[in-house]
Amino acid sequence: MPTFEGSFDVVIVGGGSAGAVLANRLSEDRARRVLLLEAGPAYAPADYPDVIANANRVGGDQAHDWGYHTQDHLALGHDVAAIRGKVLGGSSAVNAAVAMRARPSDFARWAARGVEGWSFEDVLPIYKAMENTPTGDDAWHGRSGPFPIRQRTMEENTPSMRAFVRAAEAVGLARVSDFNGAEQNGVSPYPLNVVDGRRINTGMAYLTDDVRRRPNLTIMGRAEVDSVVFDGSRATGIRLANGETIIAGQVILSAGAFGSPAILMRSGIGPSSHLRELGIPVLLDAPVGERLKEHPFYYNVYALKPEAKSMAPVAGAIIWTSSSEARADELDLHISGTHIFDPAQSPTGGAIVLACAVTLPNSIGSVRLASRDPRAMQVIRYNFFQDPSDLRRMMEAVRLSRRIGRTAPFKDVVASEMAPGRDVEDDAALEKAVIASVDGYAHPTSTVPMGGADDPRAVVDANGAVRGLDGLHVIDASIMPDIPSVATNVTTIMIAEAISRRL
């Protein structure tokens, strides 16, 4: 079997929201030889194509996506697309560039699982250190970090997006000045990692030209990984999908909530019964892939009147609030205002989407291998609405969204409701419409979860080290003990920043 020329102190698998951060931070020690492997193309910071760099283009394209979808058709009547970026920068290169932190109550839920060192008091300094944000209170913001966060203003938004914010206020929601500040319950334009219309992904922000020139850092694009190589219980390298082996003193998986558990399972780390079904020798029986969480997402769509049909910028504003079933200090609902919609599908040539999400879902999904083939798509199930409270709360969000849709000044810029449509009024019909078209928010987490030493449902410790093995870490959104009540990208970056200081 061929072996990559030379060896490395650290091999990082996946150059996305976490991996790019780790490559930067770990290679700051010039004595440490670091290799970053990315399955997609590894563009130079200034050479990303428009489909990736342009913040008004969301979701990437076939050339920069893994092509994943779930196997949820039996429960929902349809499978759910699971967009994941396949490019240096990962999903931070194809997302809507929402830069909102998880809340103190999110981290309190992690602590309740026995995970230490991740309280909000622990992580706030890291959130601040990673960002450069020119606005907001110094108590909440950093000014000189690598990751740019910019608060979108009402003036920068489209007329219909401004009307959405004002109609939300008219139905009783408070205006939030800064979602990354002291208060989150209400409505506001988004904070975004967008500068001059350019989505600044981690491949740009953390892997600058200067960082890439470091002699101890090697970045290899179009390198898909099969499995981790072990000597006994110690990780000694990785095997690429082409059979090539790379030797490493330490292996870090940062391949995301689908990629990292798949690599672990192909390496013999996972539920023993599942591995045996596929003929994979069991190295470690561990609950990999068993606690997948994702936010269910439903699109309440409105055609805009011709005089208000502007659709750029696409990411505009959001409501973050609580359902009637939320626990104390939890905000479990989003209504996200965007123009991420094909205008040709609107009878007026313009549309706005009020996308509803349950941000603290109780339903639990799973990730399994379809085969030992490293290029085979995983069997992903979100199991949306498996827990009835998730559907009840989604219905609350949709009713609030539609109430805003019928409130001035928003109703004054709307020509018609496209989805679910004005004929869908009674609860049974609305529930059926929601289930029939529910999507994912593209925030999968918790497939390789952190936990305390006595937590049988955990795979890694509070530093991402795989328990029971040596020389192997997982550092990405898969290790979150539970999904946060907001977009996950900024928190994934923060996790990589925090753990990089401990390695």
Q: Does the pLDDT at position 438 exceed 60?
A: yes
- Reported as a pLDDT band with limits 50, 70 and 90, residue 42 is very high
Q: Does the pLDDT at position 6 exceed 80?
A: no
Token look-up 């026995």 returns 114
| Cα gap 298→319, rounded to integer Å | 14
Catalytic, 69? Answer no
Q: Does the pLDDT at position 5 exceed 80?
A: no
* Cβ-contact 15, 42 below 8 angstroms: yes
Say which residues have a Cβ less than 8 Å from residue 231's Cβ, sequence separation at least 6.
none
- Reported as a pLDDT band with limits 50, 70 and 90, residue 7 is confident
Peptide bond connecting 409 to the previous residue in cis, omega within 30 degrees of 0: yes
Burial 324-360 (b: 16+ CB within 10 A, else e): ebbeeebbbbbbbbbbbbeeeebebebbbbbbbbbbb
| Cα gap 139→181, rounded to integer Å | 8
| Cα gap 390→395, rounded to integer Å | 9
Q: What sign results for the dihedral spanned by CA atoms 299, 396, 491, 10?
A: negative
Of the listed 274, 339, 443, 473, which one is catalytic?
Answer: 443
Go through the domains of the chain in sequence order and give each one's CATH number: 3-69+81-99+199-288+456-500 (3.50.50.60), 153-189+296-360+385-437 (3.30.410.40)
The predicted-structure confidence for 293-333, as pLDDT tens digits, reads as follows 999 999 999 999 999 999 999 999 999 999 999 999 999 99
Burial 53-82 (b: 16+ CB within 10 A, else e): bebbbbebeeebbbebbbbbeebbeebbeb
Q: Does the pLDDT at position 1 exceed 90?
A: no
For 403-417, what is the mean pLDDT? 98
The predicted-structure confidence for 352-368, as pLDDT tens digits, reads as follows 999 999 999 999 999 99
- Reported as a pLDDT band with limits 50, 70 and 90, residue 3 is low
